């Protein structure tokens, strides 16, 4: 049975949307004079209804209902499902993709920074293992990643396509050909990260054997991928699954890109949520939103200025911004105490502390928020935008997981470094009332897609390696 949730809408005309030219005309000040020598007297501007304000935003910011994901080959999906949940892809045989992107946690892990390889498992929660370091970033959700509009992956955009279609990744020219899409390119890299899945040079795996992946020198991506394929193809069940997924290809000639394509196919099939109330509203269903949600949408496109960055059907412009998010944790570079985000990837200091605008689809399901999970609720994240400087300087880390509160970077000099490259949009933030913030939070609930909170049925009972599953 297909895991795809049936969609009810998708390509309908925006039936309720007033033409933006008409609305602009309504807003223009018409003039009339009482006599030939008197100056024109402006007439009062007509006040738009909430629905008309939303209609302006929909047209101005290129909003359309979320398109249905392309159907995926069932054999490739099944291979990807096994790989996604199997710890065989990690150096220490203790971490799978699902460890940090579990359907139970809405394809994330519900903690600020993830605990990768070497983690201690307490029931369904992963805790930082002894002698280990937190990963630098919050685990991103995986919803609707098959939509063709995606051009970037990861918070720091280290995987992205340029305007001319060129794919940029940490592997550069060493990236193999044959990747199906941007999501498959993303799937190539968590297995190469020491803190996520690969492990350290001195590690031993769960069987007490040396970690062969960890011993490979950093940057030798092809050696890592080749070692993983050798491991996978030593397993008879995986050989069968690869042969079924790619019947025209010799199994022994397959590289890790075949595994990555399968993982991407599974993620697209399993985590492509159906239409949200917002999608139904955009498609013409006036009653799809509650009154608070409508007011929130009007604030979103108007006074709140949210659509300046959260635009388009995905509700993200996929560009990097420095929002002065409070910093804690290890960062991405051993020589840099702070996580400078896209500044490190681009080697451009103007982008220090800038991170990609996240999609807001299904955001209500996936706390905590920001690139490092600094805020536990959507309301807290919204209020940070309303006064980023005060939020940075007054941040209370006491709620953070484990020892993260002790890894807070709150030295005034470091905070000034962050503020030195604050994005221009944050210099004059909007001023919203408490009621308007409440309405924005209500609007976020309207962005939850059908079935997004019910994907647990994709978890298999077992995986080919026989290793334990993340519960």
pLDDT (tens digit per residue) in 53-78: 999 999 999 999 999 999 999 999 99
My answer on whether 262 and 327 are in the same domain is: no
Indicate whether 381 belongs to any domain: yes
My answer on whether 264 and 379 are in the same domain is: no
The domain in which residue 381 lies consists of 305-431
My answer on whether 207 and 92 are in the same domain is: yes
CB crowding 341-380: b at 16 or more within 10 Å, else e: bbbbbbeeeebbbbbbbbbbbbbbbbbbbbbbbbbeebbe
Which of 12, 2, 140 has the alpha carbon at shortest distance from 66? 12
Q: What is the pLDDT of residue 46?
A: 67
- Helix, strand or coil, per DSSP, at residue 437: helix
Indicate whether 31 belongs to any domain: no
Which spans in 313-433 are helix H?
A: 342-346, 378-386, 388-393, 412-420
User: Which of the four pLDDT bands, split at 50, 70 and 90, describes residue 127?
Assistant: confident
Q: What is the pLDDT of residue 16?
A: 43
What domain count does the chain have?
2
Q: What is the pLDDT of residue 131?
A: 87
Mean pLDDT of the chain: 91
My answer on whether 312 and 212 are in the same domain is: no
pTM: 0.90
pLDDT above 90 (res 88): yes
**pLDDT tens digits for range 275-326:** 999 999 999 999 999 999 999 999 999 999 999 999 999 999 999 999 999 9
My answer on whether 326 and 259 are in the same domain is: no
My answer on whether 125 and 239 are in the same domain is: yes
pLDDT above 70 (res 414): yes
Q: Mean pLDDT throughout 177-192? A: 98
**pLDDT tens digits for range 159-181:** 999 999 899 999 999 999 999 99
- Helix, strand or coil, per DSSP, at residue 347: coil
Q: Mean pLDDT throughout 236-241? A: 99
Q: Considering 272, 296, 315, which residue would you say is the last residue of a domain?
A: 272
Tokens linked to 110: 């519900």
Instruction: Give every CB contact of residue 184 below 8 A, 6+ residues apart in sequence.
Output: 257, 260, 261, 263, 264
| Bridge partners of residue 161, in order along the sequence | 167
Domain CATH code at residue 314: 1.10.760.10
Tokens linked to 215: 């011993």
* 355 DSSP 8-state letter: E
Contact 96, 84 (CB under 8 A): yes
My answer on whether 124 and 257 are in the same domain is: yes
Q: What is the pLDDT of residue 123?
A: 66
My answer on whether 264 and 387 are in the same domain is: no
Q: What is the pLDDT of residue 45?
A: 53
Q: Mean pLDDT throughout 186-199? A: 98
Which of 306, 275, 308 has the alpha carbon at shortest distance from 8? 275
My answer on whether 117 and 215 are in the same domain is: yes
Residue 83: phi and psi, rounded to 5, are -65, -40
My answer on whether 160 and 225 are in the same domain is: yes
Cβ neighbour number for residue 82 with a 10 Å cutoff: 23
pLDDT above 70 (res 42): no
Q: Mean pLDDT throughout 81-88? A: 99
My answer on whether 79 and 209 are in the same domain is: yes
Indicate whether 460 belongs to any domain: no
pLDDT above 60 (res 22): no
Question: What would you report as the CA-atom Rg of the chain, rounded to the nearest whole angstrom?
Answer: 24
């Amino acid at each position: 049975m297909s895991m795809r949730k049936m969609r009810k809408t998708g390509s309908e005309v925006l039936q309720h949307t007033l033409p933006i030219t008409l609305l602009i005309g309504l807003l223009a000040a018409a003039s009339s004079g009482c006599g030939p020598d008197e100056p024109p007297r402006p007439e009062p501007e007509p006040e738009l209804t909430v629905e008309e304000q939303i209609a302006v935003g929909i047209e101005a910011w290129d909003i359309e209902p979320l398109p249905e994901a392309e159907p995926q080959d069932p054999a490739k999906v099944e291979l990807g499902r096994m790989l996604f949940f199997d710890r065989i892809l990690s150096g220490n045989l203790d971490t799978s993709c699902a460890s940090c992107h579990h359907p139970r946690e809405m394809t994330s892990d519900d903690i600020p920074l993830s605990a990768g390889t070497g983690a201690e498992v307490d029931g369904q929660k992963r805790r930082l293992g002894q002698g280990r370091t937190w990963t630098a970033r919050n685990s991103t959700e995986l919803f609707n990643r098959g939509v063709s509009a995606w051009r970037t992956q990861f918070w720091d955009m280290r995987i992205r396509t340029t305007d001319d279609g060129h794919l940029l990744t940490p592997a550069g020219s060493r990236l193999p050909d044959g990747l199906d899409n941007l999501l498959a390119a993303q799937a190539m890299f968590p297995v190469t990260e020491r803190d996520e899945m690969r492990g350290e040079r001195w590690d031993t795996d769960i069987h007490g054997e040396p970690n062969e992946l960890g011993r490979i020198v950093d940057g030798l991506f092809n050696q890592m991928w080749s070692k993983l394929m050798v491991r996978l193809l030593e397993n008879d069940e995986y050989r069968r699954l690869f042969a079924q997924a790619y019947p025209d290809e010799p199994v022994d000639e397959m590289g890790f890109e075949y595994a990555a394509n399968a993982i991407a196919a599974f993620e697209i099939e399993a985590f492509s949520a159906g239409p949200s109330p917002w999608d139904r509203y955009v498609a013409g269903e006036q009653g799809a939103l509650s009154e608070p949600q409508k007011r929130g949408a009007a604030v979103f496109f108007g006074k709140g200025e949210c659509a300046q960055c959260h635009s388009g059907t995905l509700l993200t412009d996929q560009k990097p911004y420095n929002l002065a998010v409070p910093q804690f944790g290890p960062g991405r570079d051993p020589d840099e105490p702070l996580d400078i985000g896209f500044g490190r990837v681009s080697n451009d200091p103007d982008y220090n502390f800038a991170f990609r605008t996240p999609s807001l689809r299904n955001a209500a399901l996936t706390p905590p928020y920001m690139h490092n999970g600094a805020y536990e609720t959507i309301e807290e994240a919204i209020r940070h935008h309303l006064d980023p400087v005060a939020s940075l300087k007054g941040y209370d880390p006491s709620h953070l997981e484990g020892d993260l509160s002790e890894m807070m970077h709150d030295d005034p000099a470091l905070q000034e470094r962050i503020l030195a490259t604050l994005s221009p949009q944050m210099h004059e933030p909007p001023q919203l009332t408490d009621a308007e913030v409440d309405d924005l939070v209500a609007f976020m609930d309207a962005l939850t897609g059908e079935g997004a909170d019910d994907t647990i049925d994709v978890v298999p009972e077992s995986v080919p390696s026989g290793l334990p599953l993340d519960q």
